[in-house]
Amino acid sequence: TVVRRDAALAGVAVWLEGIAAGKAFPEARRHPVTLTRCALTPRVLAVPAGGTLNVRTEDAYAARLRVVRWPEGRVIAAPRFTDAGQVIPEDRVLEAPGVLELRGEAPAWLRAWVVVAPHPYVGVTDDGGRFAFDGVPPGSYRLVAWHERFGRVERGVTVAPNGASTVDVVIGGGGA
C-alpha cells in the first residue's frame, strides 16, 4: 500500500529492483495511452520493457506529443496526430527501463508518465493506494514507488517461501 501521510495515494508506479528471474512476460505487449478531451489517459502507466506503446487520439484536432526519457530530458519520439481515431504505434520507446514523460507540444498542458521495468513486476496503485505482484520468487528486493510530484521512495522487502509479503510505503514527506 502506498500512502501520503494519512491518505491513500493513487497513480503511484511501483516496481521491484534486484529481481532476476520469475514469471514470464505477459503475452499482451501493446500498451494504450489515449488523448481524449484534451487529456492523456492513463496519467501513469507502468509496463515491462519491450512491446509497443499505442498512442491514440479521440480528439478531432491536430496534436503533437514528445516522448521524453527522464531524467536526461532526451526526446525519443514525437508522434503527431491529425484526426480523431488515429493510432500511432511507438515500438522503440519501451525498449529500455526508465521513466518516460509524454509531454504535449501542441497543446502544451498534456502530460502522462510511462514507467518501464526490465521485468513484469511493475504496476500502478489503485484508488485505495494498493498494488500487488503475483509470482514473485522468494528473496529480498528493493520496492520502488515513484510519483510524478513526490518523487521516488525505496523500501526493502523480503518475500517468504510461501510467496506472501506485505509492505506499506509512505511517500511525499512521511518517509519510508
Q: For residue 112, which of 30, 176, 16, 47 has the smallest C-alpha distance?
A: 47
Higher pLDDT, 113 or 82: 113
Mean pLDDT of 58-64: 84
Answer yes or no: are the C-beta atoms of 40 and 110 closer than 8 Å: yes
Q: Mean pLDDT of all residues in the chain?
A: 89
Give the integer Cα–Cα distance in Å for 129 and 124. 9
pTM for the full predicted model = 0.89
If pLDDT is split at 50, 70 and 90, which confidence band does 6 have?
low
Mean pLDDT of 23-27: 87
Question: What per-residue string of b and e applies to 97-123 under the rule 16 or more CB within 10 Å gives b?
Answer: ebbbbbbbeeeeebebbbbbbbbbbbb
Tens digit of each residue's pLDDT (9 = 90 or more) over 27-51:
879 999 999 988 999 999 999 999 9
What are the cell numbers at 56? Answer: 491514440
Tens digit of each residue's pLDDT (9 = 90 or more) over 84-125:
888 989 989 999 999 999 999 877 789 999 999 999 999 999
